[in-house]
Amino acid sequence: MYSISELKRLNKYIIMKKISEIYMYVLGGIVVLSFFFLIISLVKIEIPVPNEKVLYMAVGALIGSFNQVVSYFFGSSKGSKDKTDIISKNNGNAK
């Protein structure tokens, strides 16, 4: 049996984990939407010559962030996170 304090601590942990997942998905969504917005803007809007280098640097940084988001959600980081969740769930059931 779990004590009340252990249940409260477990409940706080679950809530914090869900909140961090929500922030992760929101941040990932913002990066992806920004990437597509910027690509569409580059096609539709004419860029002033003095601002081209700065914009290209921003595009490069955003492409790197987009790559990290895609790699996390569809790459080995996602599998590693799922494996860690399974292991921690199994350790919680062992009590």
By residue range, what is the domain housing residue 69?
4-93
In angstroms, the Cα distances linking 18 to 13, 25, 92 are: 9, 11, 17
pLDDT tens for residues 47-83?
888 888 988 898 899 888 888 888 887 777 667 777 8
Label residue 95 by pLDDT band (50, 70, 90). very low
Q: What is the pLDDT of residue 1?
A: 67
Pull the structure tokens for residue 55: 């914009």
DSSP state of 64: H
pTM over 0.85: no
pLDDT digits (tens, 9 = 90+) for 25-52: 888 888 888 888 888 888 898 888 888 8
Domain count across the chain: 1
